[in-house]
Structure 1
Amino acid sequence: MKQIRFAVVLVFLFTSFYNYAQQPPSGKNKVKVTGKVFEKVSKQALEYATISIMLPNDTKVIAGGITNPKGEFEVAVAPGTYDIKIEFISFKPTEIKQKSIQDDTNLGAVNLSEDAAQLSEVVVRAEKSTVEIKLDKKVYNVGQDMMVKGGTVSDVLDNVPSVSVDTEGNVSLRGSDNIRILIDGRPSNAINVAEALRQLPADAIDKVEVITNPSARYDAEGGSGLINIILKKGKNQGFNGTFIASTGIPETYGLSANLNYKTEKFNYFTTAGYNHRTNEGGGLTNTEYFKADGSTKEFLDENRDTKRTRDGFNGRAGVEWTVAPNTFWTNAINYQKNTGEDRDLIGFDNFDANHVFTGSTYRLNNGDTESENFEYTSNLIKNFNDKGHKLTVDASISRNRDDNNSLITGSQNYNSTLNDQVQKQVLLQADYVLPISKGSQFEAGYKGSFGDLNNEYFVLDPAGIIDPKLSNTLEYKENINAFYTQYGLKINKFSYLFGLRWEDTNIQVNLLDTKEFNTKKYNNLFPSAFISYEISDQSNFTASYSKRVSRPRGRFMNPAVNYSSNINIFKGNPDLDPSLTDKYDIGYIKRWEKLTFNTSAYFENTKDVFSFVKAPNGDQVNGIPVIVNTPINLGNEQKFGFEFTLNYTPFKKWRLNSNFNFYNVKTTGENSYTDSQGVLITQNLDNQANSWFARINSKLTLPYKIDWQLTAMYNGEQKTAQGKNLGQFGMNTAFSKDVLKDKATIAFNISDIFNSRIMRSYTYLQNDKTLESQTSYSEMQWRKRQFNLSFTYRFNKPKNDREKNGAPKNEGGGDGGDFPG
C-alpha cells in the first residue's frame, strides 16, 4: 500500500504546487511550518503523509508538502492565518483551524489514527506507474504488474528499469552481469542463482530495489550495483490473504497462497506454493573451418532442441513479535524443493569444402535434477526513540543441495555424468544508527559471512570408469568479515553522506582429486561519497562515488564442464581473482504533475575484469577441433554510459514508463594458455564497443474496466573481442479484469509474443600454432513463447493494499538509517 500512497499523494502534491504557483506574489518574506507525523498506536513515522495549507474557509490549497521517511515535513508560506490539514491514506485526517503563522512555526508531533470504516471498504488504485524513482535507487512494485502473474522472479526482474534477464536466466544491470542479488537485504544462498530465481514465484515478491551505486552500509560485492528483492510481509489486522492459481502453454500450472494473521503483539505470515513448469527451447551453431591458406576446409552444422521441466515447492513461514512498543523481533523459515528433467538433443551435420553433405551424428543428454534449500532468518530491531536512533541485528543459517545426473548417448559414444553440490552458509549482521542533530546522523555496523561449498563432478565412460580429465571434487570455503561506518548531514539544500567499509576475505579453492590447493587472502577499504543538491521541491541533483569488488563464484570457478556438447564445452576457472571497480555517477531528477524524469551518467573503471573467452584446446572429435569457453581475469575495463527513465501519465487511465541505457565499453588484455598438446597460445583480446538497451511499458484501462499492459524491449548489438552479439527484440502483453466485486482478478499474459528473444552471435577464432581458423554463427533460445492464465482471489484484503508500516520492519535487511533530509 506504501507505493499507492506515494502515487496518490504525489498527484495531490503536484496539484498543490501548481495551485500555489498561480498565486500572486505576496511581497512578504516566507516563514517555515514544520512538524512530524506519526501513527497513533505504534508511534511510527508516516512517510508520504500530505500537508495542505489553505486560507480560512477556502478549499483551495496555496502551499503543501509531504513527509520524509522520518515523518518530518517543512512547508514555506507567507505570514498569515491559515487552515492546516494533515492526511494519510486510510487514516483520519487532522485539521488545525485558524492557525496564526507569523514566523517559523513548529506544529510538533501530529498523531493520525486508522479510519476503520475506510479500511474495510476502500479499494485503492494507483494512478502512477508501478515504478518509483528515488534519488538513490529505483523501486519496482510487483503487486500492480499483470505481466508477471503466474510467473517467476526472473519474469519480475525482466520488467525492472535498468535490469535485463537473458534467455538463460542470467541477470544484468546496465548491461553488466557483475552484480549482487539480495533477498530481503541478504545475499541469495542458492548455489545456482539463475535457476533459483526461476523457481521462486512472482506472487511472493512485494517489490524490487535497484541500487546502482550502493553506500558503505551495503556489501561491497557487485561491481555494477545491487538488486534487492523484498518478499511480501502482511501487516493488515486480523486474518487475510491471497490465493493464486495459474496454468499455461507449454504445460505450466501452479497454486500459491499468501496468508497473514495479525494481533496486537504478533504478526504471523506465510507463503506456500507449488508449480510445474515446462520450458522448450532450441539453438544452432553453424561453423565454417578454414585452412592455413584461408581456403575452406569443411562445414559443421550443430542443431539443438531442449526441453526442461521443473516441479517446485516453495514455502515460507514466520512471525513478527512486538516485544515492546519500540522492539520488534522477526523469525522466519524458508524452504524450497525442486525436481526436474532436462533433455538436450544435438544433431551434427557434416559438409565438405563445397558444402556437400557427408554424414551426420547426434548426441542426446537426458538429465535429472533435484535441489533442496533451507534457510532460517532472525531479525531484531530496537528503536531507542522516535527520531531514528536504532539498532538492528540480523542472523541467518542455510543449507542448499543440488544434485544433477545425466545420461549422454550418441552415434559414437556413451557417457554419464554425476554432479552433487552441498553449500552451507552462516550470516551475522548488526547495524547501528544514531541521529546526532537535526539533519545529521552516524551509522556503523558489522557483517560476517561464512560459507562452505562441496562439489563432486564425475564423467563416466560406458564401462563406468571415471574420466580423470573431466572429473573433479571441488571444495570452496569463503569467510568474509566486514566493518563499516558512515556519516550523513544536511546543510541548507545540500545533503552529504560519506562512508568507509573494510572487508577481510579468506577464500580456499581446493581440487581434491588433483590435490591442487589455492588460498586467496586479501582485505580492502571501500570508500563511498554521496552529495545531493535540492534545486527545488520538484528537482534534485546528485553525485556519488563508491569502490566495489566482484568475487568469482559458482559456475565461474567450478571446473566441472558442461558436457552436453563434446565440441563446444564450458568450463569454470578455479584460479580467478576478484576484480575491483571504481564507480562514479551523477544524476538529475525532475518531477512534474504528469511526468517524472530521471537521468544519470556513469563511469566504471574495473581492474582484473572477468571475461569469457573461447579457444581450441588442441583436442579433436572426428576431426573437429574442441572449443572450450572459460572465464579469465582479462585485464582492465572502462565503461561509460548514460541512462534515463521516464514515468508519464497522459491520462488517468493510461500510464507509461520507459528506460533507455547507452554505454561504451573498452577492454584491454590478453589470454595465455597451454593447450592439450603442451603448446603455449596467446590471444590479444583488446576490444571497444558500444551498445544500448531500451524498454517501454504501457498500462491502459479499456472499457468494462479491463486493464491492458504491453511491454517492448530491445538489446542493441555489441562487438566482442572474438566477434559480436546481435541485437535482440522482445514483446510481452497482458490483460486483467476484476471480478466478484473486486475480490478476484483474472489475468492472461503472453511472454515473447513474436518468439524473438533469441541470443544470436558471430565468433571468429584462430589457432596461432596451425594458422587454421573458424567462423561460427550461433543462436540459442532457452524459453520459447509462453501463454499463461491466472486467477487471484483475495479475502479480507483490498486490492493493491500496500500494508501500512505498523511495525518498523527493516525491509532492507540491515539497510541502516535514512539519508539525512
Structure 2
Amino acid sequence: MLYTGVIWSQNGEIQITGLLVEAETGQPIPYATVVLNSKSTKSTIAGAITNDDGYFDLKTVENDFYLEISFIGFKTLQVKNYTISQNKVDFGTIKLYQDSQMLDEVVVRGEVSKTEFKLDKRVFNVGKDLSTAGASALEVLNNVPSVNVNIEGEISLRGSGGVQILINGKPSVLADESSNALGTITADMIQSIEVITNPSAKYEASGTSGILNIILKKEEKKGWNGSISLNTGIPDNHNVGVSLNRRTEKFNLFTQIGAGYRSLPRENEAINRNLENNEVIFSDGENFRNETFFNVTLGTDYHVNKYNVLTLSGNLAYEIEDQPSETNFSFFDTNNDLVSRWIRNEDTEATNPKWQYEFNWKKQFKSHKDHTFQLSALGSFFGKDQSSLFVDTTLEGLDVDSDQRTSTNFQQADFTFKADYTNPLSKEYTVEAGVQYVINDVGNDFEVEDLIDGTYVINESLTNDFEWVQKVVGIYATGAYENENWGVKAGLRAENTDIGTLLANTNESNSQNFTNFFPSFHTSYTFSEKFSLQAGYSKRIFRPRLRDLNPFFNIRNNFNIRTGNPDLQPEFTNSYELTSIYKIGKASMSSSLYHRYTTDVVETVSTFIDNVNFTTPENIGTNSTIGFETNGKYSPTKWLTFTGDFNFNYFDRKGSFEGQVFDFTGNQWSTRLGSKIGFPADIDVELNGNYRSSFETVQGKQSGFAFLDIGIRKKILKGKIVANLGIRDVFASRIQERFVNQPTFETYNFGRRGRFFTFGLSYAFGKGEAVTYSGRRR
C-alpha cells in the first residue's frame, strides 16, 4: 500500500514508524526486514526488524528516501510516497501480500519428510506427514523406513525386535515399555529420528537390532510462542493441550499442559486344541482400555554464557484407568459335544502416577563449535496401583462359575548418569570418550485370590512379589577421520552388568554379573554427488526387559496365560552391513545388504497343560539373518511426492528346547508405499499403504497383513489455524494372527484394534505454527 501527501522539508532527525500486517488476515508480521534507501543513490540509509507485534521504528537525518519491506513468503514492497510532519513519518498500517510461488517452494521443502545419511546412521527428518498429524511417536516410527510397529506397540527394525529407544540420545522414561509413555510424544514435537542399525561404541550396547534415537524439537524463536489444540476421535479420543514457550537471550522457558479421555478397544479370539484327546476350547471377546489423564511438563534452558547451557526439566503425569472386558468361552469334548459355555467378565481399575526429571550441562569450548563436554542426569518413576475382579457366569452345560480378584502394586525407579566429551582435533580428525551409569530398580507385588465358599482365598501358585535390580556401567572411546570423500570411524565400549532378581514369596533369587566388550567400525566413500557407499560392523547386547523377566500372570483369559522368565540370559549379536546411496533424476534411493548373527535368541515358547496355553520367553539357540533393504523418494512435481520402502530377509534358526529341536529356515518381507498430493486452497492429502508378510516361528507361524492410512489437512489463516482429519487402518485390516502347531496341541490367537477416526483443530499464537497435541499412547 502506497501513502501520498505533501513532503515538508525538515531539519534534524526524522522518526519513521509503522505497523506491518498480512493483507489476507490482518495478523501482524514480526521479524520482517524494513530497509530505508536513498531515492537518488539507491544506497541503504538505515534498517530495522519489526518487533513481536509487527511495529517498526527508524530514525534518519535524510529526507529523500523510500522504504523497502521484505519477508519470506511475501512479495517485496516499496513505499515511496509519504508525509513528513514535525520530524515524524507515520506510515500507519502497511499490508504485505503473499507470494504464492515462493510459498509453494517453502511448503515442498519444509513439510515432506526426508532421510539424510551420516557416517554411522540415517537421519529421518520428520515433516508434517498428514496420516500421523495429531498422532503419537509410535505412529511416526511406523512411517520411518526400516521400522515397523505392530498393534501391540512392539517395535521392530528390519523385522527384528530388541530395539533400543533413546530420547535426545539418552534413555528416558518416555521410551520405557513398562510405563507405556512413548505414545505421549506427539508427531509435532519430533524434529528427527535417527535410525542406527550399526551403532558406534558411543551408544549404549543394548538393542541387538540397533537404536532408534528420537530427537525432540527445540524452540528457537524469541518472545512468546504457543499453541492450543483440541482433538476428538472415534473410538473415544478427546483431549485438549496447551503448549507455551518464552525465549529471551538467557532463558528458554517451556511448558505443556494436557488433559483428556481415550478408549482403546481390542477384539480377541483364541482356540486351544488338545491333539491327544481332541478337546477344544474356543474363546472370543472384546476388551477396552479407558483412561482419563492429566500431565504437565515444565523446563528451562539457561544460557550462562556463549559456551555454557544448563537445562532442567520435569514432567508429572497421572492416569486413571478403567479396563472392562468380556470373553465368551465354549468347551467341547472328544466327541465334539458341548461340555460348557460361559462368560468371563473383568472389571479393572488402576491409578498410574508418573514423574521424571532431567538435568543437563553442555559446555562448548572456544577452540571449535563441536568441541564439547556434556554432563546429564535423568531420574524417573512409574507406579501402578491396580485391582481387578473376574466373574465367570455359566450359560450352558457344566457349571464352571468361578470368581477371582487380583491386586497389583508396581513401582519402578530408573536413574541414568552420563558424561560425554567430543574433540575435533583438526578438520579431519575427531575423538570421543564418555562414561554412563544406569540403575533400574523394580518391585511388583501381585496377588491372586479365588472365591471359595463365599470367601476370597489367596492362590499361592499365582501370587508373587518380584524384585529386579539392574546396574550397568559403560565406558567408551572412538576415533574418526573424515575428509571430503572418505571417512572412517572405530571405537570400543566396555560394559559391566550386575543383575539381581528375587521372588520374595518363595525366596528364589538369581544373580548375574558379567563384563563385555563391544567394538564398532564404520567407513564411507563418496564417489560423486549422486553415489556413495557405507559399510559398518558392531557388536550388540539385548538384556531381557522387565516384562520378559517378571513371572506375572495375566488371567484375563485364564486359558491363555503369559508369564515372564527370571532365568533369561542376554542375547548377543554381531552385525554387518553395506549400504549404497544414489540419485537418479528426481528420485533418491538407498539400498543395503546386511547380516546379523545372534546367540541365545529370546523366543516366546508355548507349553500346554490341562488345555491351558502358557507362553514364556526362553533362550533358544542361534539365528543367522541375511537381508536386503531398499527405500527411496520420487517427486515428479511440486505437488506430488512418492515414498517407498522394501525389506526382505532370509533367516536360519538353530536350537532346541526341552528335547525338541527347532532347526528351520524361513524368510519375511515388508513393504511401504506412500504418496502426498497437494491441492489448491491449502489442502493436502496423504495415503500410506503397508504390507507385512507372514513368517515361520519356532513353533508355528505368524500371519501377514496389509493396511492403509489416510490423512487430510486444511490450513487456515496462513497456517495459524490447522484442521486435520485422519483415518487409520481404513479397512480395519491391521490384524495379528499367531499359529502354534505342535505334536500334542495347536493354538490360534487373533487380535485387532480396528479403524480409528481423528479430527483436530490447532491455533498458534506468537511466532509459532499451529501444532497438534495428542493424548494418544501405546
TM-score by length of 1: 0.77
Name the amino acid aligned to 2:319: N
Counterparts of 1:590-601 in structure 2, within 5 Å, are 590-592=582-584, 594-601=586-593
- 1:220 and 2:205 correspond: yes
- 1:438 and 2:427 correspond: yes
2:527 counterpart residue number? 535
What is the alpha-carbon distance in structure 2 between the residues aligned to residue 432 and residue 119 of structure 1?
A: 46
Look at both structures and tell me which one has the larger radius of gyration over its CA atoms: 2
Classify the secondary structure of the residue corresponding to 1:779: strand
Residues 242-291 of structure 1 show CA distances to partners (whole Å, capped at 9, x for unaligned) of 22211001111111122211111111122222232111111212344323
Name the amino acid aligned to 2:747: S
Contact conserved, 1:420 with 1:456, CA < 8 A, in 2?
yes
Of 599-608 and 278-287, deviating more is: 278-287
Classify the secondary structure of the residue corresponding to 2:183: helix
Classify the secondary structure of the residue corresponding to 2:565: coil
Of 685-694 and 516-525, deviating more is: 685-694
Of 347-356 and 757-766, deviating more is: 347-356
1:792 counterpart residue number? 762
Residues 324-363 of structure 1 show CA distances to partners (whole Å, capped at 9, x for unaligned) of 1111111111222222111222111233455454431222
Classify the secondary structure of the residue corresponding to 1:235: coil
1:69 counterpart residue number? none
- What's the offset of the Cα at 1:119? 14
- What's the offset of the Cα at 1:658? 1.2
- 1:722 and 2:699 correspond: yes
What is the alpha-carbon distance in structure 2 between the residues aligned to residue 175 and residue 370 of structure 1?
A: 34
Classify the secondary structure of the residue corresponding to 1:388: coil
- 1:460 and 2:449 correspond: yes
2:40 counterpart residue number? none
Name the amino acid aligned to 2:641: R
Determine which of 298, 308, 312 is the counterpart of 1:317: 298
- 1:211 and 2:199 correspond: no
1:632 counterpart residue number? 618
What is the alpha-carbon distance in structure 1 between the residues aligned to residue 418 and residue 173 of structure 2?
A: 15
- What's the offset of the Cα at 1:603? 0.7
What is the alpha-carbon distance in structure 2 between the residues aligned to residue 125 and residue 255 of structure 1?
A: 27
Determine which of 369, 392, 400 is the counterpart of 2:374: 392
Determine which of 468, 471, 476 is the counterpart of 1:484: 476
2:312 counterpart residue number? 331
1:406 counterpart residue number? 388
Of 695-704 and 199-208, deviating more is: 199-208
- What's the offset of the Cα at 1:492? 6.1
What is the alpha-carbon distance in structure 2 between the residues aligned to residue 433 and residue 252 of structure 1?
A: 44
Residues 200-259 of structure 1 show CA distances to partners (whole Å, capped at 9, x for unaligned) of 444433332221111111110000011112223211011112222110011111111222
1:148 counterpart residue number? 132
Classify the secondary structure of the residue corresponding to 2:292: strand
Give the direction of change, closer, same or farther, for the CA distance of 1:194–1:285 in structure 2 (3 Å limit). farther
What is the alpha-carbon distance in structure 1 between the residues aligned to residue 770 and residue 432 of structure 2?
A: 34
What is the alpha-carbon distance in structure 2 between the residues aligned to residue 205 and residue 405 of structure 1?
A: 35
What is the alpha-carbon distance in structure 2 between the residues aligned to residue 575 and residue 119 of structure 1?
A: 65
Contact conserved, 2:128 with 2:188, CA < 8 A, in 1?
no
Contact conserved, 1:142 with 1:208, CA < 8 A, in 2?
yes
What is the alpha-carbon distance in structure 1 between the residues aligned to residue 590 and residue 243 of structure 2?
A: 34
1:297 counterpart residue number? 278
What is the alpha-carbon distance in structure 2 between the residues aligned to residue 615 and residue 346 of structure 1?
A: 22
Of 201-210 and 739-748, deviating more is: 201-210
1:428 counterpart residue number? 417
Name the amino acid aligned to 2:521: A
What is the alpha-carbon distance in structure 2 between the residues aligned to residue 120 and residue 452 of structure 1?
A: 57
Contact conserved, 2:292 with 2:320, CA < 8 A, in 1?
yes
- What's the offset of the Cα at 1:615? 0.8
Of 343-352 and 439-448, deviating more is: 343-352
What is the alpha-carbon distance in structure 2 between the residues aligned to residue 742 and residue 762 of structure 1?
A: 49
Of 134-143 and 224-233, deviating more is: 134-143
- What's the offset of the Cα at 1:474? 1.0
- What's the offset of the Cα at 1:763? 1.4
2:31 counterpart residue number? none
1:373 counterpart residue number? 354
Classify the secondary structure of the residue corresponding to 2:621: strand
- 1:131 and 2:108 correspond: no
Contact conserved, 1:143 with 1:800, CA < 8 A, in 2?
no
Contact conserved, 1:687 with 1:720, CA < 8 A, in 2?
no
Counterparts of 1:152-171 in structure 2, within 5 Å, are 152-171=136-155
Name the amino acid aligned to 2:741: Y
What is the alpha-carbon distance in structure 2 between the residues aligned to residue 416 and residue 447 of structure 1?
A: 42
Residues 641-700 of structure 1 show CA distances to partners (whole Å, capped at 9, x for unaligned) of 11111111111001121111111222211122xxxxxxxxx3322232100011111111
- 1:561 and 2:553 correspond: yes
- 1:779 and 2:750 correspond: yes
What is the alpha-carbon distance in structure 1 between the residues aligned to residue 496 and residue 261 of structure 2?
A: 42
- What's the offset of the Cα at 1:800? 8.5
Name the amino acid aligned to 1:416: R
- What's the offset of the Cα at 1:636? 0.9
Q: RMSD of the alignment, in Å?
A: 2.3
1:12 counterpart residue number? none
What is the alpha-carbon distance in structure 2 between the residues aligned to residue 167 and residue 273 of structure 1?
A: 25
Contact conserved, 2:299 with 2:311, CA < 8 A, in 1?
yes
2:603 counterpart residue number? 611
Classify the secondary structure of the residue corresponding to 1:701: strand
Give the direction of change, closer, same or farther, for the CA distance of 1:119–1:274 in structure 2 (3 Å limit). farther
